[in-house]
Amino acid sequence: MGTASKEISEAEIINYFKNIEALWDELFPVEQIRIISLLIKQIIITENKVDLRIFKSGLSSLASEINAN
């Protein structure tokens, strides 16, 4: 059974994550860790900044999960 992959726009992803803070506290810690692992590729901390690198595919995957519920 094949599934078609739908490209999710940046605006759609932003919209899905607007209310994540309210949902975040309701999640079990293991689910919070799963979400962070899905999204965060690398964190680089220097004296002047924090550079957060995100998995683009993780954003799309999580947005799709949110949209399915």
Please tell me the predicted confidence (pLDDT) of residue 54: 86
Residue 44 lies in a domain: yes
Residue 3 lies in a domain: no
Residue 62 lies in a domain: no
C-alpha–C-alpha distance, residues 57 and 69, integer Å: 19
Please tell me the predicted confidence (pLDDT) of residue 6: 61
Please tell me the predicted confidence (pLDDT) of residue 1: 41
Indicate the pLDDT class of residue 4, thresholds 50, 70 and 90.
Answer: very low
Residue 68 lies in a domain: no
Beta strand spans in 5-49 (E): 40-45
Query: Whole domain around residue 40: which residue ranges?
Result: 18-57
Q: What is the mean pLDDT of the chain?
A: 80
Residue 63 lies in a domain: no
What mean pLDDT is predicted for residues 34-48? 92
C-alpha–C-alpha distance, residues 3 and 18, integer Å: 27
- Looking at the chain, the whole-number percentage of residues with pLDDT higher than 70 is 83
Residue 1 lies in a domain: no
Q: Phi then psi for 55, rounded to 5 degrees?
A: -75, 115
Residue 4 lies in a domain: no
Residue 13 lies in a domain: no
Provide the number of structural domains found in the chain. 1
C-alpha–C-alpha distance, residues 60 and 43, integer Å: 20
